[in-house]
Amino acid sequence: MSRSRLIRVGIVIPAFQASSTIRSTLDAVADQTLPPISVVVVVDGPDPDLEKVIVEHRLDCEVMVLPENTGAPCTPRNVGAASMRARPDIEAIWFLDHDDIPAPDFLAIMDETLGSHPEAMFACSSFRNWNEASPREVGEIQSADRTVSTQLELDWYLANTGDVLPSFSVFRIAALDLLERNGGLFRPELRSNQDYDVFIRLFHLAEARRVDWCGGDYRIHASSISADRARSWSCRVQADLMLADWFASRSLGGIARGFRRRSRSAGRRAARERWHAGTRVLAAKELLRRAVVGPDFKAVAVLARLICGLERPSIRGDG
């Protein structure tokens, strides 16, 4: 489909203790077949070594340094987004994490997708997980001359929450404006699961498109926030309760009740993760508390299965 012009995209990269990883991410941005209009790296707390790597890179980046570490990428993303949204020449933002490696055609594919669907507020691609302890499979991500996208439904996302990430997504400025009016952008009170909260609100409010094409490599490493699975699932409890209140405020009681059920499921999952991590007394107390306070009788069943050795550690799934 021919178009008169391309969508002007700015990139926001939140960075923390990333001097050993950000160079490959910046290389991938510099190698995009469709260059961005602007790149801003928001350093989460002073880090002279990291700042030096960014400034000396061949990619011309703006560097913003927050006065202290905020503990999560949400505030750096929000600060970078505010800078981009203040510019009249930026029409969309790509939130790229400091350690992920996008494919060379990623931005071109996202431009094609949004250009083909002017009513869509958001576009994303699939990606592949890369454990940094293993060699990266270089050269297997193929270019694509033409892509087919599908509309991203909220129910699909709830069943596949790990399949959409900011690093492989582009938001129109209008989408961020819509989120700002409906609960805010990335919520600082959520140490993890900020993406989950943003995506659910956005997918409820606006059209989103997904391309089943590998947009790059998502780096998995032991120091990531999501590596502490018990903490991540505990934060999911908070996110689900916040979403329940958000939907309830819009008189969508059925959806709100669904997120309250999801919060209970996430709480059971957090206790499972603690049990498998070795903190069994704490996990048992949490499950018993949920059984009494909820009341969540499924928590008792989970505890019984854990004690009997019928539960095994798993990567994904609800409780």
For residue 3, pLDDT beyond 60? no
Which residue from 156, 82, 99, 89 is spatially nearest to 126, judged by alpha carbons? 156
**In this predicted structure, what is the pLDDT of residue 52?**
95
Q: How does DSSP assign 91-113, residue by residue?
A: -EEEE--TT-EE-TTHHHHHHHH
pLDDT tens across 57-68, in order? 999 999 999 999
pLDDT tens across 210-230, in order? 999 999 999 877 655 556 788
Q: In the chain, where does the domain assigned CATH 3.90.550.10 lie?
A: 9-226
DSSP category for residue 17: S
Residues 6+ apart with CB under 8 A from 172: 91, 92, 114, 120, 121, 122
Residues 6+ apart with CB under 8 A from 194: 72, 73, 74, 77, 186, 187
- Look at 253 and 193; give whichever has higher pLDDT: 253
- CA 87, CA 245: separation in Å to the nearest integer? 33
Alpha carbon of residue 71 to chain centroid: 15
**In this predicted structure, what is the pLDDT of residue 232?**
86
- CA 240, CA 264: separation in Å to the nearest integer? 9
**In this predicted structure, what is the pLDDT of residue 129?**
86
Whether the CB-CB separation of 22 and 53 falls below 8 Å is answered with yes
Secondary element (H or E) of residue 269: helix 253-277
Whether the CB-CB separation of 153 and 203 falls below 8 Å is answered with yes
Tell me the average pLDDT across 70-88: 95
Handedness of CA 117, 40, 22, 195 (dihedral sign): negative
Lookup result for tokens 């990428």: 73
pLDDT tens across 282-301, in order? 999 999 999 988 788 899 99
Of 13-22, 135-144, 166-175, give the lowest mean pLDDT range.
Answer: 135-144
For residue 318, pLDDT beyond 60? no
Lookup result for tokens 């202290």: 68
Residues 6+ apart with CB under 8 A from 94: 9, 10, 11, 12, 36, 107, 110, 169, 170, 171
Residue 280 has phi, psi (to 5 degrees) of -75, -35
**In this predicted structure, what is the pLDDT of residue 219?**
85
- How would residue 319 be classed by pLDDT, with cut points 50, 70 and 90? very low
For residue 317, pLDDT beyond 80? no
Whether the CB-CB separation of 296 and 290 falls below 8 Å is answered with yes
Q: Which amino acid is at 108?
A: A
Domain range 9-226, its CATH number among 3.40.50.300, 3.30.420.40, 3.90.550.10, 3.90.209.20: 3.90.550.10
**In this predicted structure, what is the pLDDT of residue 99?**
92
